[in-house]
C-alpha cells in the first residue's frame, strides 16, 4: 500500500513452524522442544526506491505485534530490505 508516493505501509501475517533443542552449558542434559505453529503479525513502514518501471527496492522497519514467546522475530523492531518487479 502506498499512501504517499515512495512511502510504504505493510501488514504481514505469518505462521511459522518452530522446533529444536535447548543445550545447557552447565552439564544439564539437553531438552527437546516439541514442534508447534507460531503466529506472527508484522506491521511496519518504510520507503520505496524506484528502479524504473513499476519495480524498485523497499526498505521497511517491521515489528511483530503478537510477541509470541517462540516467535523468530524477538521483541525488537527490525529492518527489512526487498525488491519488487
Answer whether 16's CB lies under 8 Å from 58's CB.
no
pLDDT reported for residue 17: 96
pLDDT reported for residue 2: 57
Domain ranges in the chain? 1-14+37-85
pLDDT reported for residue 26: 82
- The label of the residue with cell 513452524 reads 17
Q: Is the pTM of this model over 0.85?
A: no
pLDDT reported for residue 1: 56
Which residues of the chain are under the pLDDT cut of 70?
A: 1-3
Answer whether 83's CB lies under 8 Å from 70's CB.
no
Which three three-digit cell numbers place residue 8? 510504504
Mind listing the pLDDT tens digit for each residue in 63-74?
Answer: 999 999 999 999
Amino acid at each position: 500500500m502506498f499512501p504517499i508516493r515512495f512511502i510504504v505501509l505493510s501488514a504481514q501475517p505469518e505462521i511459522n513452524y518452530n522446533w529444536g533443542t535447548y543445550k545447557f552449558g552447565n552439564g544439564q542434559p539437553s531438552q527437546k522442544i516439541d514442534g508447534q505453529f507460531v503466529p506472527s503479525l508484522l506491521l511496519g513502514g518504510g520507503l520505496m526506491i524506484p528502479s524504473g518501471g513499476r519495480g524498485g527496492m523497499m526498505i521497511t522497519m517491521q515489528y511483530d505485534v503478537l510477541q509470541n514467546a517462540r516467535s523468530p522475530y524477538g521483541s525488537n523492531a527490525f529492518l527489512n530490505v526487498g525488491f519488487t518487479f
